Structures are given as C-alpha cells and as structure tokens.
C-alpha cells in the first residue's frame, strides 16, 4: 500500500466579521475603509462583502495548522486595529444579536447588484457571517469521492460552531439561526452525492446552459468541490467567536478529509447516507448545538451529540499526528466543556438581560487566544 502524502491536505480559511458602532453596538457601514486600509497591509486577504457592515478575510494556502493559526490571528489583529483607528469595532458571530438588515447598506458592486436583482429580499436579508475551510486535494476526481463521504460529518462539526442564537433582537430558540436565514437562497444546504467529477461538472454545465447560474460560485452548498481549485470547501459553519475555535474546527475538517482519503487508499469507503437523513442531523445541530441528540444512522438510534463528537475524534485520531494538528484537535474537548459561541452568548444575555452586553462580549472575545 502506497504511503500517504499528508502534505497535500493544505488549508485555506475564510472568515466573515461584523463591523459595529462601539457606542450603539449597531451594525455600521465601514464605507469600505477597512478594506482599503487593510489592502495596504494584507493585500487581497481582505475583501468587501455584499453588506457594507461585513468584512471578509482569507488566509494564504497554509501547509500546516500552525500556519493557519498564525494567518488567522494576524488577520483578526489587523482588522481589529484598522477598525479601532476609525472608531469602529469588530466581532465574530453568525448573526448580529439585534441589528435589522433593512437598515444596512449593500455594497455597490456588479456581482452583488446582480445577486440582489435576482434574489431580491432573500439577498438583502442575508446579513450573516460564516466560516469557510478549504482542504487541498491531489485532484478533483478524488475530491468528489471524499466530499460524498464527508457530508455525513457536516452536522457534527456544525454543532460545534453554532454561534447565532439571536436575530433582529429576538432569542430565536436556535443555537444557529444563521442557516435558517441562508436557507432562503437557492442551491444551499447539504448537497446530493455525485457518482463522479464528470457527473458534478455536467450538473454545473446544465445550470449554466439553462441560465440558472452564470458560474459555479452560485452553488452555495454546505460542502462543495471548489469550482476552480483542487479543494473541498466546507461552508456549513457559523463564524466562530475566537481564533482557537476556528482553528480547532479547521483541524477537524482537515483530519476528516485525510481519514477518508486513507480509507479509500485501503480500498475501504465510508458508508454513504441520503441527503434527507443528513438533513435531519443538520436541523438538530442548528436547533440544539452540542446539547441535543444526533441520529447515529449506523445504529439507527439517537445519540448524545457530545458523545458523537468524541466518537468522531476517535475516528480521525490515527491521521492527526501525521497532519500535525493534534494541538488544534485537542482544543475540541475544551469547546465541549465551555460551550459554543451560542451557549456563551445566551449565558451573557441570561446574566445581563441586555443584547448590547452580548455584542460587547462578542467584541471582547474577537482577539481571545491571539
């Protein structure tokens, strides 16, 4: 059996941050000042997003989890510093606790204007903040096989990332309401499995030919083989509140990919489950986070979500040291212990009965662990 080149599993991390007024704690347009100042320092690692109160950052292609940590930490420090210099604050949460999307300006850009023109209110109300993790692959043919299997684990990792319990000043009852907002878009959610990369590309070509989309980036699934790069892109997670949470989740996605690759290398495969079944777990993860039950489809029974996450850690354990992400993965039990971003936001609200205090907490945690 050929030895595995673990260096192929490179990482790229994209995060979306909220920009807010430190006095009113409302979301606030930065008039692209953060982007233009940021580009002087970190070049194209910072971008405008559809809403002007959002900043998107992305790392370089990282060859280790340590590189990814350093890059994300630098991005957060840089954006935090620039925002502070112009009298604004930044934070990482899947939704803002109380700002209303109707009050927010849309960035004037051809692509965003097109999306708003097509999707109307669904686009204008899409004021949410996510985490995207890219894991490198030897080729797209392998990527589609691994993506098919990786779909099963999306709800488990998503539960860990839940960080959006409030929406427009209301407690939603969900640990992640962000996904409910995004569900209004077409081509979202858990994807179907594809028999081959050709089947996937034929699907994309058909959508383009019939004017459903003009390019494959308008496929917004929770997991996709990237339209242009040899990467699997995990898109299901809320943006985590802290750097350590982002890096732990990134390490877990990298380890899941490497483990599935290792199984395939041994002529084994992880069982494929229907999208409809995986969706049941996604709903449970969004509603209850790590405090509920997911379905173990192998045993056909409900199982405590925390127990399933520990099972997942056992499942990937034999690739973690080769990847060099042991320290990142070791942070996950601490996340289970202290609660997700959503759990901590709800605790602050329970203690203070004040949504501005929740925003203050989100802002204070932004550089925690840097």
For 278-333, the pLDDT digits (tens) are 999 999 999 999 999 999 998 999 999 999 999 999 999 999 999 999 999 999 99
Percent share of the chain, pLDDT over 90: 89
Q: Which residues contact 317 (CB under 8 A, 6 or more apart)?
A: none
Q: What is the mean pLDDT of residues 32-56?
A: 94
Backbone angles phi, psi at 357, to 5 degrees: -65, -35
**DSSP 8-state assignment for residue 236:** -
The two structure tokens encoding residue 123: 């686009």
The three-class DSSP label of residue 132 is strand
CATH number for 305: 3.30.590.20
Q: What is the mean pLDDT of residues 68-95?
A: 98
Residue-wise pLDDT for 332-365, tens only, equals 999 999 999 999 999 999 999 999 999 999 999 9
Other beta carbons within 10 Å of 259: 23
Count of domains for the chain: 1
Compute the mean pLDDT over every residue in the chain, rounded to the nearest whole number.
95
Residue-wise pLDDT for 244-263, tens only, equals 999 999 999 999 999 999 99
Given a cut of 90, is residue 91 above it in pLDDT?
A: yes
CB 151, CB 223: distance < 8 Å: yes
Round to whole Å and give the CA distance between 123 and 159: 25
pLDDT at residue 1, as a whole number: 59
Tell me whether residue 307 is in a domain: yes
Given a cut of 90, is residue 119 above it in pLDDT?
A: no
Which residue has 């692509």 as its token pair? 111
Cα angle 145, 256, 315 (rounded to 5 degrees) comes to 115
- For 291, the domain range is 6-365
Tell me whether residue 195 is in a domain: yes
pLDDT level of residue 50 (50, 70, 90 thresholds):
confident
Given a cut of 70, is residue 31 above it in pLDDT?
A: yes
Q: How far is CA 327 from CA 45, 69, 158, in A?
A: 25, 11, 20
Tell me whether residue 27 is in a domain: yes
β 293-296/188-189 pair status: unpaired
CB 249, CB 309: distance < 8 Å: no
Tell me whether residue 18 is in a domain: yes
Tell me whether residue 144 is in a domain: yes
Round to whole Å and give the CA distance between 301 and 294: 8
pLDDT at residue 118, as a whole number: 86
Given a cut of 90, is residue 271 above it in pLDDT?
A: no
pLDDT level of residue 39 (50, 70, 90 thresholds):
very high
Q: What is the mean pLDDT of residues 271-275?
A: 91
β 223-225/231-234 pair status: antiparallel
Q: Please classify residue 209 by burial: count the beta carbons closer than 10 Å to its beta carbon, then call 0-12 exposed, 13-18 middle and 19+ buried.
A: exposed
Tell me whether residue 361 is in a domain: yes
Tell me whether residue 228 is in a domain: yes
The two structure tokens encoding residue 55: 């900043």
Round to whole Å and give the CA distance between 286 and 162: 7
Q: Which residues contact 293 (CB under 8 A, 6 or more apart)?
A: 284, 302, 303, 304, 305
CB 341, CB 68: distance < 8 Å: no
> In 3D, which of 16, 264, 305 has the Cα closest to residue 143?
264
Tell me whether residue 1 is in a domain: no
Given a cut of 80, is residue 2 above it in pLDDT?
A: no
pLDDT at residue 292, as a whole number: 97
CB 176, CB 286: distance < 8 Å: yes
Residue-wise pLDDT for 165-209, tens only, equals 999 999 999 999 999 999 999 999 999 999 999 999 999 999 999
Q: How far is CA 269 from CA 9, 141, 264, 272, 295, in A?
A: 19, 15, 6, 9, 20
């Amino acid at each position: 059996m050929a030895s595995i080149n673990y260096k192929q599993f490179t990482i790229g991390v994209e995060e979306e941050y909220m920009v807010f007024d430190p006095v009113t704690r409302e979301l606030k347009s930065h008039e692209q000042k953060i982007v233009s100042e940021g580009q002087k320092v970190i070049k194209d690692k910072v971008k405008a997003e559809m809403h002007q109160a959002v900043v998107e950052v992305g790392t370089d292609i990282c060859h280790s989890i340590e590189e990814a940590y350093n890059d994300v930490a630098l991005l957060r420090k840089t954006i935090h510093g620039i925002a502070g210099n112009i009298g604004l604050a930044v934070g990482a949460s899947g939704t803002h606790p109380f700002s209303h999307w109707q009050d927010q300006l849309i960035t004037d850009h051809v692509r965003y204007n097109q999306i708003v023109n097509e999707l109307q209110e669904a686009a204008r109300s899409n004021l949410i903040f996510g985490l995207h993790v890219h894991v490198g692959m030897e080729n797209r043919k392998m990527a589609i096989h691994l993506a098919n299997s990786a779909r099963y684990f999306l709800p488990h990792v998503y539960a860990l990332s839940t960080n959006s319990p409030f929406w427009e000043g209301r407690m939603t009852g969900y640990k992640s309401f962000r996904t409910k907002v995004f569900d209004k878009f077409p081509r979202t959610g858990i994807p179907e499995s594809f028999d081959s990369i050709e089947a996937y590309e034929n699907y994309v070509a058909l959508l383009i030919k019939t004017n459903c989309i003009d390019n494959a980036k308008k496929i917004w699934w929770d997991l996709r083989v990237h339209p242009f790069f040899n990467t699997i892109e995990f898109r299901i997670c809320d943006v985590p509140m802290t750097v350590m949470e982002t890096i732990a989740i990134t390490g877990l996605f990298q380890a899941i990919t490497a483990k599935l690759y290792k199984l395939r290398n041994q002529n084994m495969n992880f069982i494929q489950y229907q999208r409809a079944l995986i969706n049941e777990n996604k709903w449970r993860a969004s509603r209850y986070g790590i405090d509920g039950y997911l379905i173990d489809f192998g045993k056909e029974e409900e199982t405590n979500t925390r127990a399933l996450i520990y099972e997942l850690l056992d499942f990937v354990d034999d690739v973690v040291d080769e990847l060099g992400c042991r320290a990142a993965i070791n942070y996950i039990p601490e996340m289970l212990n202290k609660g997700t971003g959503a759990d901590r936001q709800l605790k602050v609200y329970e203690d203070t009965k004040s949504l501005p205090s929740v925003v203050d907490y989100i802002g204070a945690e932004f550089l925690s662990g840097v």
